[in-house]
A = this chain, B = another copy of it.
Amino acid sequence: MTTDVPQTAAGESRETEGREMHALVERLYPLCRSITGDGLRRTLEIVSGEIPLEISEVPTGTEVLDWTVPREWNIRDAYVKDASGDRVIDFAESNLHVVGYSVPVSATMTLDELRGHLHTLPDQPDLIPYRTSYYAETWGFCLRENTLAAMGPGPYEVKIDSTLADGHLTYGEHVVPGRSTDEVIISCHVCHPSLANDNLAGVAVATRLARRLAESDPHYTYRFVFAPGTIGAITWLARNRERVDRVKHGLVLACAGDSGSLTYKRSRRADAEIDRAVRHVLRSSGREHTVVDFSPYGYDERQYCSPGFNLPVGSLTRTPYAGYPEYHTSGDNPDFVSPEAMADTLETCWEVTRVLEGNRRYLNLSPYGEPQLGRRGLYGSLGGRSDTKQTQMAMLWVLNLSDGEHTLLDIAEQSNLPFATVAEAAQALRGAGLLKE
């Protein structure tokens, strides 16, 4: 598919976009995010430097659908010190070392006493797992199995300097206004601490997609939602319940930067326009890819596709949820994601928006027999171009199927031609007065 990438004022290329997205991942990586708290706030602040965000702060205790906004969690330091005062486990080294939402603790205990609060990955002894306990009050440390193996019987000084108190849940939105109030939402979870692919890469791709769209005079209004997983999406839905019918298409963007091929998970509707658009882009691009049916597990498509909302929102990832060994471990660091993979994800998202933006249903105004293209300069008129034959085939397909029933995306799918070629053919035919909308 040929695409028309707007060049920014700075003239940045796709390669530049890739590098910048990776730089953003690296900048966001050290912050200790959670579903609430200052790490999340600081993350949204940095994203605001890329694309302006409208920030919402929702107080603890607010009822949101079936849920309640929890207390806000913040953490300053945490460690397990051995008898010689060395930090055997140190929050400053990696924020994954502390179980998310751990309550404060300050105690001295033996390894045996401590063991019930330690989490390791015996099969991946060099990696720190990522664990949270949002709704059951507890505390814990995550560490390398190899570290645990080397720990003596203790005693250890155990400290988690955290607070769990009334506060707020924070989320951010960026809107690219379109000519229509119909919306496309792009939703990224921003609640994970130092995990690069899950989901800083998705956040980075979203920022560049927003920038491209801003320069494209779009038909749709594009809303980017950066919110903590589950509770954030639920909060957003609760606060936008009366206006979600504006959402005509949507994508949950996650795991956007690993080296695997793209995976699209269909919306609950299964054949919504977004589902067909993404499938078409993936197929016609020749990219290796996978399309899977909706299932009520994964990222925030779970909420958007709950039966009461049933929004046409699919999920685009590279390697999907829990599908790579580094998933939810310290192995998911900035080296795990690449500028090239993020650029490829971005390009795919962009092409999907090209389909959504360009999809129309036309009516052939000369439907009896084929109209004579030659006398209108449409036949062979593009002689010097390598895609002439394909464009002429596209014109015949558009004429044949523009009966008021088929959209350009239908035609692209039925003809096995790229959407851009079909849209270009339709444009030429419309220019010649052979089609009306």
Contacts and interface: CB of A to CB of B under 8 A. Distances in A.
Given A307-B399, A308-B368, 9 more contacts: A66-B370, A66-B371, A67-B372, A234-B369, A241-B368, A306-B367, A307-B400, A307-B403, A309-B369
A230 interface: yes
B400 A368 contact: no
Interface stretch (A218-226, A296-304, A351-359): A296-304
B368 A297 contact: no
Given A307-B403, A374-B135, A375-B135, A296 B369 contact: no
- Interface size for chain A: under 10, 10 to 19, 20 to 34, or 35 or more residues? 35 or more
A232 to B, nearest CB: 11
A368 B399 contact: no
A369 B136 contact: no
26 contacts: A65-B368, A66-B368, A66-B369, A66-B370, A66-B371, A66-B372, A67-B372, A135-B374, A135-B375, A233-B369, A234-B370, A237-B369, A238-B368, A293-B414, A295-B415, A296-B370, A296-B396, A302-B370, A302-B400, A303-B370, A306-B367, A306-B370, A307-B367, A307-B401, A309-B368, A309-B369
Given A268-B400, A393-B297, A308 B369 contact: yes
A298 to B, nearest CB: 10
A364 interface: yes
Nearest to A135: B374
Nearest to A398: B296
Nearest to A309: B368
Interface of A: 65-67, 135-136, 230, 233-234, 237-238, 241, 268, 293, 295-297, 302-303, 305-310, 364, 366-372, 374-375, 393, 396-397, 399-403, 414-415
B400 A369 contact: no
Contacts of A400: 268, 296, 302, 305-307
A289 B57 CA distance: 57
Contacts of A293: 414
A313 to B, nearest CB: 13
Given A295-B415, A397-B296, A400-B296, A369 B135 contact: no
A67 B307 contact: no
Contacts of A364: 307-308
Contact of A369 (B67, B370, B403): B67
A236 to B, nearest CB: 10
A407 to B, nearest CB: 14
Contacts of A308: 364, 367-369
A378 to B, nearest CB: 12
A240 to B, nearest CB: 11
A302 B367 CA distance: 11
Nearest to A374: B135
B268 A368 contact: no
B307 A370 contact: no
A369 to B, nearest CB: 4
A397 B370 CA distance: 44
A342 to B, nearest CB: 29
Nearest to A233: B369
Given A297-B396, A374-B135, A303 B369 contact: yes
A201 B173 CA distance: 68
A28 to B, nearest CB: 27
A303 B370 CA distance: 6
Nearest to A64: B369
Nearest to A392: B297
The interface centre, meaning the residue of A308, A309, A393, A402 with most chain B CB atoms within 10 A of its CB, is A308
Contacts of A67: 369, 372
